[in-house]
Amino acid sequence: MSKLLVTGGKKLDGEVEVQGAKNSALPIIAASILTKGENVIYNCPSLSDVDASVNILRYLGCAVTRYGKTLLISCDGINRFDVPDELMRKTRSSIVLLGAVLARTGRARLSFPGGCEIGSRPIDLHLNSLREMGADIREKHGYLECFAPKGLYGTKITLSFPSVGATEDIMIAACLAKGTTTIINAAREPEICDLADYLNSCGADISGAGEGIVVIEGVGSLSGSVHTVIPDRIVAATLMSCAAVTGSKIVLNGIISSHLAAIIPTFKSAGCRIRISDGNLEITAPERLKSMKTIRTMPFPGFPTDAQAPMLAASCVADGTTVFVENIFENRYRHVPELVRMGANVKTEGKVAVVEGVNMLYGASVEAPDLRGGAALVIAGLCADGKTEIGGAEYIERGYECIELVLSTLGADIKKI
């Protein structure tokens, strides 16, 4: 088990390229199962979650090779429809494989997925939607046994919540279904658009991605394609938080500003100056942040739940009171007790967290509870007095590509031990 050791008090300076988006790469890798021929996926981050998805594809009989940030994927040799429990448990996003394997092979046998325990993320939206498309799905002994021997059929599906994962699963499955599939109350996240762009480049017929209604016209087959994964907006928000708590100025290269539209105003309200030009973002933080008043997490285009933990860490040293309302996951304040160990003044009740900013945090031995909570502890460690030892670094590695090297490049004192 690895740890991160952070010595606080260092100013950050310099430029860094924002990695490819984990939440785009994973469904795109899953969707490649539908294709024949070779796929070239550029800007694919090197993460444990991505490695888990790649290992599943290899188990299924696909050929996957990595060259730096590029993945070459060929699914012509797929010869299995089952995914073992030990592979499924590696990542929550593995559930998006269900629609892909079912559409390609007519069968799927998967265990329930793993991932961070940040609250209830029911997969009933996935299962009910695929059933509406004609799949026979049975739950036995912790496994999902799925059958669609005559293929899937297009239909109208109304989601009770704009779930990103369910929207992706339906989109993927519908590409090879017979007829038209319409998703009502679809998720609108940029990662949905990226998946649609990839699938359309493979020969799919998807319209409306990024809006509340997505329409997929089924096609006979898909071919491999070349695609570049969008930059990771949550990593960008995390690095902005790192600059904010240390009173620093840094430049993030390769961002898409519209993806950060709900995040940028929050940093501005905290007193940060932000300049955007030609896909680059420069953030200049004050010596001490101002409170951010109230932040409510919402589906896109609202404030992203994945950015809540990094922003909460930043608010711990802001001047004044910041209130967070977590509307997506009910168990997403697991990092708060660890921040309190470092001297933060945070009270939580239900979906609300009230943060009273303090003058200084103090280094301590803490444990990352999940991916974004781990990032929050790194942010806190950067501005804390003394050394912070963060256990559970494997959680952070699920979504951040060599975070210790990225921050060291900017001048932070951080290393993996």
**Is 124 marked as a binding-site residue?**
yes
Can you tell me the distance from the alpha carbon of 351 to that of 414, in angstroms, rounded to the nearest whole number?
Answer: 32
Alpha-carbon distance values, 407 to 179, 400, 415 (Å): 49, 11, 9
**Is 306 marked as a binding-site residue?**
yes
Six token digits for residue 297: 């997490």
**Is 58 marked as a binding-site residue?**
no
228 Rama class: left (phi>0) / alpha (psi -120 to 50) / beta = beta
**Is 195 marked as a binding-site residue?**
no
Phi first, then psi: give them for residue 194, nearest 5 degrees.
-65, -40
List Cβ neighbours of 256 (8 Å cut-off, separation of 6 or more): 190, 230, 231, 233, 279
Six token digits for residue 212: 């509340």
Helices (H), 175-307: 190-201, 233-245, 264-269
**Is 256 marked as a binding-site residue?**
no
Instruction: Decide the pairing of beta strands 273-277 and 280-284.
Output: antiparallel
Six token digits for residue 208: 């409306």
Residue 116 annotated to the active site = yes
Six token digits for residue 149: 């021997």
Task: Name the nearest CA neighbour of 13 among 387, 414, 412.
Answer: 412
List Cβ neighbours of 67 (8 Å cut-off, separation of 6 or more): none
* Residue tagged active-site, from 116, 202, 242, 383: 116
**Is 398 marked as a binding-site residue?**
no
**Is 197 marked as a binding-site residue?**
no
**Is 122 marked as a binding-site residue?**
yes
User: Which residues are known catalytic residues?
Assistant: 116
Positions at the binding site for phosphoenolpyruvate: 22-23
Positions at the binding site: 22-23, 92, 121-125, 306, 328
Positions at the binding site for UDP-N-acetyl-alpha-D-glucosamine: 92, 121-125, 306, 328
